[in-house]
């Protein structure tokens, strides 16, 4: 018999055997029932049944791209992170953008915050910066996060998002007024992922080579200019192309139009945090630029699309606890909760070895630890590698050098309300944002809020929300109240 040679064009089973017929299943005779022995058929169907994994509870609908970050300004006085260590230095990056509340099959052009997640493949390990396209968020304590998301997603009975649930939660969360004003304003529906800013949102810590600590906030300003859609434009776009943001990002990069953002940071010496007029670790607050001006750091450019959306976008795992030397956490309660929640979500969705997937693995260095085994393990490291530490076999060892400066703690354990600073309340900054808007922006904001709030069935929930807008600014509250009343009387 002649020797059979498998070529690159030969279709095979997963075990490598050649497939004779990929068009017809094996059967008992020409018209008979199918045979259990048809390994190729059973293998294809079994794999097809398992092609999808649990979608993200939030940020399910997303798009991604590769690129680089280049340092343009010296920040070595504030951090000793190697990837920020010299002007002109470039680091490979993977970015994932997303909507927050809807499912994987949702439309892109909807009124919703956008995720803005970055993975920097640095020589000291991967650094993940997981933010949004807004500088603030709805809540300040992670214990409220599951309840908040439940209120914004599909109702267990009706199977759809319910205004009663959305506004009822906000009625009981006055700290959400600032973010609601952002969301219902002109930037609530970005025209594309390329035309929105990104923010770290949380407060992080930078530490320089001398051990001095600073608190920082990240601002990625789009170089394409901010462009947004009105509610009417968003509804039309979502109906015509539910994948509008994905289409735009993909096609722009494919035709060589590479989106970019300029990174700025606000820097607060750690000693100033205790007496600042706002709680600097409150995710519902911003630091006014007049207090802490923006300092330019570098430029983010996206120039390559993923080859496989599932492998590289759906399986991309970002964890805020992936820090590198010179960068660390702050006492921000929401950040502290996310340090656990994000990594745990990925271990559930992708397995304990998800960091070995190509999109998540370090690229400029090699992960060296004693993690072994588990589902889809591929890191045995050879017969002589030990899986414990310390050992006598020259295995990887600790450095003794912390990544960031220690955070001071004091007081008694227990559940505590966040400390109040001189200007801390739930409404001041929401009112400041409203007063910054033009007359046209204010009118659109009021119409967007009234359109949703007027659909709420309970008068007491409406009244509680109206009280928040009155507290933020008397004119703001009056206009929303009048608009809601007019819509309810129609």
Task: Tell me what pLDDT residue 371 has.
Answer: 85
CA distances from 292 to 32, 54, 157 (A): 77, 41, 47
Q: What DSSP assignment string belongs to 37-60? A: T-HHHHHHHHHHHTS--PPPSSS-
The answer to whether the CB of 265 falls within 8 A of the CB of 287 is: no
The answer to whether the CB of 97 falls within 8 A of the CB of 62 is: yes
Query: Which run of H or of E encompasses 116?
Result: strand 114-122
Biggest distance spanned by C-alpha atoms of the chain: 91
What angle separates helix 439-453 from helix 474-489, to the nearest 10 degrees?
Answer: 50
Known catalytic membership, residue 59:
yes
Task: Tell me what pLDDT residue 129 has.
Answer: 98
Spell out the per-residue pLDDT of the chain, length 490, in tens.
456 667 778 999 999 999 999 999 999 999 999 999 999 999 999 999 999 999 999 999 999 999 999 999 999 999 999 999 999 999 999 999 999 999 999 999 999 999 999 999 999 999 999 999 999 999 999 999 999 999 999 999 999 999 999 999 999 999 999 999 999 999 999 999 999 999 999 999 999 999 999 999 999 999 999 999 999 999 999 999 999 999 999 999 999 999 999 999 999 999 999 999 999 999 999 999 999 999 999 999 999 999 999 999 999 999 999 999 999 999 999 999 999 999 999 999 999 999 999 999 999 998 888 888 888 888 878 888 888 889 899 888 988 888 899 888 888 888 888 888 988 899 999 999 999 999 999 999 999 999 999 999 999 999 999 999 999 999 999 999 999 999 998 7
The alpha helices in 417-457, defined as continuous H runs, are: 428-436, 439-453
Smallest CA-to-CA distance from 284 within 154, 397, 432, 403 is with 432
Read off φ and ψ for residue 117, nearest 5 degrees: -110, 135
Known catalytic membership, residue 22:
no
Task: Tell me what pLDDT residue 420 has.
Answer: 84
Residue 71, beta-bridge partner list: 298
Give 72: exposed, middle or buried? Use CB within 10 Å, 0-12, 13-18, 19+.
middle
In sequence order, which residues have a C-beta less than 8 Å from that of residue 311 and are 6 or more positions away?
Answer: 357, 358, 359
Question: If DSSP codes are grouped into helix, strand and coil, which group holds residue 81?
Answer: coil
SS3 helix, strand, coil % of the chain, rounded to 5? 30, 15, 50
The answer to whether the CB of 35 falls within 8 A of the CB of 28 is: yes
Task: Tell me what pLDDT residue 6 has.
Answer: 73
Q: Which of 126, 132, 165, 448 is catalytic?
A: 132
Task: Tell me what pLDDT residue 217 has.
Answer: 98
Q: pTM higher than 0.85, yes or no?
A: yes
Q: Which of 40, 59, 202, 346 is catalytic?
A: 59
Smallest CA-to-CA distance from 132 within 229, 217, 245 is with 217
Read off φ and ψ for residue 118, nearest 5 degrees: -130, 135
Task: Tell me what pLDDT residue 340 has.
Answer: 94
Please, how many CA atoms are within 13 Å of residue 119, restricted to the half-sphere of its CB? 25
Please, how many CA atoms are within 13 Å of residue 219, restricted to the half-sphere of its CB? 17
Task: Tell me what pLDDT residue 387 has.
Answer: 86
Q: What angle do CA 77, 288, 286 make, to 5 degrees?
A: 95
Please tell me whether the peptide bond between 46 and the residue prior to it is cis, using omega within 30 degrees of 0. Answer: no
């Amino acid at each position: 018999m002649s020797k059979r040679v498998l070529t690159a064009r030969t279709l095979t089973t997963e075990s490598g055997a050649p497939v004779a017929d990929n068009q017809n299943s094996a059967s008992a005779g020409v018209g008979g029932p199918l045979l259990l022995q048809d390994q190729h058929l059973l293998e294809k169907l079994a794999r097809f049944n398992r092609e999808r994994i649990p979608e993200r509870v939030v940020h399910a609908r997303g798009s991604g791209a590769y690129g680089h970050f280049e340092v343009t300004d010296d920040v070595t006085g504030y951090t000793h992170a190697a990837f920020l260590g010299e002007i002109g230095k470039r680091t490979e990056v993977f970015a994932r953008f997303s909507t927050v509340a809807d499912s994987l099959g949702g439309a892109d052009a909807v009124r919703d915050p956008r995720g803005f997640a970055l993975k920097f493949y640095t020589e000291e390990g991967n650094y993940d910066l997981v933010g949004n396209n807004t500088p603030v968020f709805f809540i300040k304590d992670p214990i409220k996060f599951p309840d908040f998301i439940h209120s914004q997603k599909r109702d267990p009975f009706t199977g759809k998002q319910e205004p009663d649930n959305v506004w009822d939660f906000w009625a009981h969360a006055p700290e959400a007024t600032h973010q609601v004003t952002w969301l219902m304003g002109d930037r609530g529906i970005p025209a594309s992922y390329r035309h929105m800013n990104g923010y770290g949102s949380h407060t992080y810590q930078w530490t320089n080579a001398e051990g001095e600590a600073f608190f920082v906030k990240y601002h990625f300003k789009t170089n394409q200019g901010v462009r947004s859609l009105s509610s009417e434009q968003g509804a039309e776009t979502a109906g015509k192309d539910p994948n509008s943001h994905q289409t735009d990002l993909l096609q722009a990069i494919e035709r060589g139009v590479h989106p970019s953002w300029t990174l700025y940071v606000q820097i607060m010496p750690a000693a100033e945090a205790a007496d600042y007029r706002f709680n600097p670790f409150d995710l519902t607050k911003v630091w006014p630029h007049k207090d802490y001006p923006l300092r330019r750091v570098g430029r983010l450019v996206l120039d390559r699309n993923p080859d496989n959306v599932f492998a590289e976008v759906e399986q991309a795992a970002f964890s805020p606890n992936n820090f590198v030397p010179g960068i660390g956490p702050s006492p921000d309660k929401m950040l502290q909760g996310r340090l656990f929640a994000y990594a745990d979500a990925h271990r559930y969705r992708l397995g304990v070895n998800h960091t070995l997937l190509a999109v998540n693995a370090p690229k400029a260095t090699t992960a060296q630890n004693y993690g072994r085994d588990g589902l889809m393990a591929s890191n045995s490291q050879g017969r002589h590698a030990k899986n414990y530490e310390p050992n006598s076999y020259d295995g990887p060892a600790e450095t003794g050098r912390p990544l960031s400066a220690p955070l001071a703690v004091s007081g008694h354990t227990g559940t505590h309300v966040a400390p109040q600073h001189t200007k801390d309340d739930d409404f001041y900054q929401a009112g400041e944002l409203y007063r910054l808007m033009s007359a046209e922006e204010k009118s659109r904001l009021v119409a967007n809020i009234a359109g949703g709030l007027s659909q709420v069935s309970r008068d007491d929930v409406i009244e509680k929300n109206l009280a928040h807008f009155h507290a933020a600014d008397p004119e703001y509250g009056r206009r929303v109240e009048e608009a809601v009343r007019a819509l309810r009387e129609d």
